[in-house]
């Protein structure tokens, strides 16, 4: 018998997450008994496990046996043995927790263990990924491992037809994004709402019936494993998944939006309106209202009231001052495409509510699209709270540990890295304005290039990435840009980012999913150097970008280069920003003392606290609404009552 790579009787507690050492040792011990098993014997073992889990209804009772079997299948197929830290991470996820694992520690194979366990229950295991590319990649690459365990695998993307979706959901394991799972849930709610009488009641779980005969897409929500759990369950928690029905946009409506786009441009801040950046809210003053109402009506104003005009004007001010092109949205084929603020990924088909989307169209001089009436909606937060079993993985979970516990009843456990970290932190620097900071970015980039290293420059938005790109072009520095406009090239650009002399500018889209592998020359020169040109509203997003360097014991370093023009500081009022600028004027060469970093950290911390409160408040409101609807025998997700 071949001896295992790791000692099986005493796995060091320092190499695994707290409380998992004994279980890891047992799994490695059981795996040795499967070493001489061939493929048919392994599948027979899996069939017995499936039968055992089906009879008991308790997959966790078979956890050690399933993990040992999965371990051996991976060893035989991939010619590698899972590290104790990977087994430990799988245990955390399978038990309903969040495993915090550093970038490059093998989260993909870690997830297979938990997915296989819950997949053997035969009730549908959903593995939720960041985007369609990762869903397709993982479903395809991992299919042979699952097949060896007798498990079927499906994948759903935005291009999947209804029949393809039904087939994928009937599989033991289904890969998809949160949006696809959520929208399919809503489509089933609409199907049930149309076919059931209001007196029969509407349950949030899908009835156990044949999907084809009922016209439903999904089975009842059973188990889900969330990759990048903090991004999905925390950052996107408030994101509404909405299915709307078009409403006719009248000539008066279109005229009103275009009229407001022109008229509010003449208004002055403080005199005519005030801004509340923290809430993205604009409020007209009495003077502003008078100026608008006395300035003439839109060309086609029949049926419009003064309240319509003033409300739309405030929405237009919000669109102008709080929604920026290439930060919050982009334009494709003369249509507004929203961007995810956490990942910078495009969100085709999504629309801002309360007229904001039409305000953006009018502001950009685009055709005013049809109105939309909400037919069915649910938040990401509410969707995943409905699963019977929920687990997740991320590189940055500890900062949100209390929220994971309070909202989802999930404990966050840190998994030690397989090798000691060699990440170095360069002193942060703060500058008076963006121009001075960009000059520092160029200088730092040239210095690291001369050392033979690869450089990743992180930016918070498409607009910021394009600005830094122009600065590098003017300095004659060859580089690649990865943002929402190049989403299709993401994996290719990231895969090449670890080569000598490579400079890559990336938005938050680069923080998830694909590893940066270093060439030998770059490793010897000091590894990947990450430059963060701004702080994000969440420290977790910064940590994700920092985590791109020094993976799996490689050398690497990072540095913050910030300025008072950064987007994080736009959350301050204009008066506060003006005071900051004045206080920084007497300082020399555009660079400020390092104590100014405390300002950025304070604003970031306040924004995180505000976001947490907003998510908690939204959950309370949604819970009250659902309870009310159910007491009335109504579906809480349908907006209309038949």
Cβ count within 10 A of residue 420: 7
4 phi, psi to nearest 5 deg? -70, 160
Residues 6+ apart with CB under 8 A from 20: 87, 88, 91, 92
For the chain, the straight-line distance linking the first and the last C-alpha, in angstroms and rounded, comes to 67
335 is in an annotated binding site: no
485: left (phi over 0), alpha (psi -120 to 50) or beta: alpha
199 phi, psi to nearest 5 deg? -80, -15
Residues 6+ apart with CB under 8 A from 435: 590
Biggest CA-to-CA distance, the chain? 90
CB 243 within 8 A of CB 376: yes
Distance CA 126, CA 174 (A): 5
341 is in an annotated binding site: no
104 is in an annotated binding site: yes
Residues 6+ apart with CB under 8 A from 606: none
246 is in an annotated binding site: no
86 is in an annotated binding site: yes
Distances (CA, A) of 97 to 110, 393, 414: 13, 8, 11
Per-residue burial over 430-449, b = 16 or more CB atoms within 10 Å of its CB, e = otherwise: bbbebebbbebbbebbbebb
10 phi, psi to nearest 5 deg? -150, 80
CB 8 within 8 A of CB 25: yes
Q: Any idea what the Cα angle at residue 149 is, between residues 143 and 152, rounded to 5°?
A: 50
Q: Which residues are annotated as a binding site for ATP?
A: 86, 104-108, 515
Q: Which residues are annotated as a binding site?
A: 86, 104-108, 515
């Amino acid at each position: 018998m071949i001896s295992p790579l790791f000692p099986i009787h005493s796995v060091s507690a320092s190499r695994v997450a707290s409380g998992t050492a004994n279980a890891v040792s047992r799994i490695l011990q059981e795996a040795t008994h499967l070493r001489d098993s061939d493929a048919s014997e392994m599948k027979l073992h899996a069939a017995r496990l499936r039968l055992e889990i089906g009879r008991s209804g308790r997959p966790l009772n078979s956890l050690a046996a399933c993990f040992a079997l999965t371990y051996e299948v991976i060893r035989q197929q991939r010619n590698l043995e899972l590290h104790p830290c990977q087994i430990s991470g799988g245990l955390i996820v399978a038990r309903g927790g969040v495993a915090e694992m550093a970038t490059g520690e093998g989260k993909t194979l870690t997830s297979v263990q938990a997915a296989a366990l819950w997949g053997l229950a035969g009730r549908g295991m959903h593995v939720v990924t960041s985007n369609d590319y990762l869903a397709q990649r993982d479903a395809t690459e991992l299919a042979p491992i699952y097949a060896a365990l007798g498990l079927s695998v499906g994948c759903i993307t935005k291009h999947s037809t209804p029949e393809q979706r039904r087939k994928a959901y009937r599989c033991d394991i289904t890969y998809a994004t949160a949006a696809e799972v959520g929208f399919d849930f809503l489509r089933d709610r609409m199907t049930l709402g149309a076919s059931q009488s209001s007196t029969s009641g509407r349950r949030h779980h899908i009835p156990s019936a044949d999907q084809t005969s009922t016209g439903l897409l999904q089975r009842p929500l059973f188990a889900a494993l969330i990759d990048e759990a903090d991004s999905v369950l925390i950052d996107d928690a408030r994101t509404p998944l909405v299915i709307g029905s078009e409403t006719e946009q009248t000539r008066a409506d279109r005229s009103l939006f275009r009229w407001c786009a022109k008229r509010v441009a003449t208004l002055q801040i403080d005199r005519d309106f005030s801004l509340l950046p923290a809430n993205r809210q604009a409020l007209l003053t009495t003077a502003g209202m008078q100026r608008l109402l006395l300035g003439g009506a839109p060309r086609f104003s029949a049926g419009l009231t003064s309240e319509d005009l003033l409300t739309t004007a405030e929405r237009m001010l919000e669109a102008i001052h709080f929604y920026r092109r290439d930060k919050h949205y982009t334009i494709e084929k003369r249509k507004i495409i929203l961007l995810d603020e956490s990942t910078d990924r495009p969100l085709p088909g999504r629309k801002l509510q309360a007229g904001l989307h039409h305000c953006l169209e009018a502001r950009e001089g685009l055709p005013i699209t049809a109105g939309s009436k909400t037919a069915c909606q649910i938040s990401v937060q509410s969707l995943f709270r409905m699963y019977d079993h929920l687990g997740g993985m991320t590189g940055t979970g500890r900062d949100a540990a209390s929220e994971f516990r309070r909202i989802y009843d999930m404990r966050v456990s840190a998994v030690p890295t397989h090798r000691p970290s060699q990440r170095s932190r360069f002193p942060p620097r703060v500058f008076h304005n963006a121009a001075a900071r960009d000059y520092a970015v160029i200088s730092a980039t040239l210095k690291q290039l001369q050392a033979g290293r690869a450089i990743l420059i992180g930016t918070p938005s498409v607009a910021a990435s394009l600005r830094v790109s122009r600065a590098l072009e003017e300095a004659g520095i060859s580089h690649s840009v990865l943002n929402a406009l190049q989403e299709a090239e993401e994996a290719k650009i990231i895969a090449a980012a670890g080569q000598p002399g490579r400079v890559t500018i990336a938005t938050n889209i680069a923080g998830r999913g694909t590893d940066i592998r270093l060439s030998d020359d770059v490793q010897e020169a000091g590894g990947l150097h990450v430059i963060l040109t701004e702080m994000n509203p969440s420290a977790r997003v910064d940590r994700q970008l920092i985590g791109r360097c020094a993976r799996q014991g490689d050398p690497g370093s990072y540095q913050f280069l910030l300025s008072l023009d950064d987007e994080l500081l736009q959350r301050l009022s204009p008066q506060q920003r003006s005071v900051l600028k004045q206080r920084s004027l007497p300082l020399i060469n555009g660079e400020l003392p390092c104590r100014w970093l405390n300002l950025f950290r304070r604003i970031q911390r306040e924004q995180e606290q505000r976001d947490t409160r907003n998510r908690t408040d939204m959950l309370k409101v949604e819970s009250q609404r659902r309870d009310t609807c159910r007491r009335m025998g109504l579906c809480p997700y349908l907006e209309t009552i038949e």
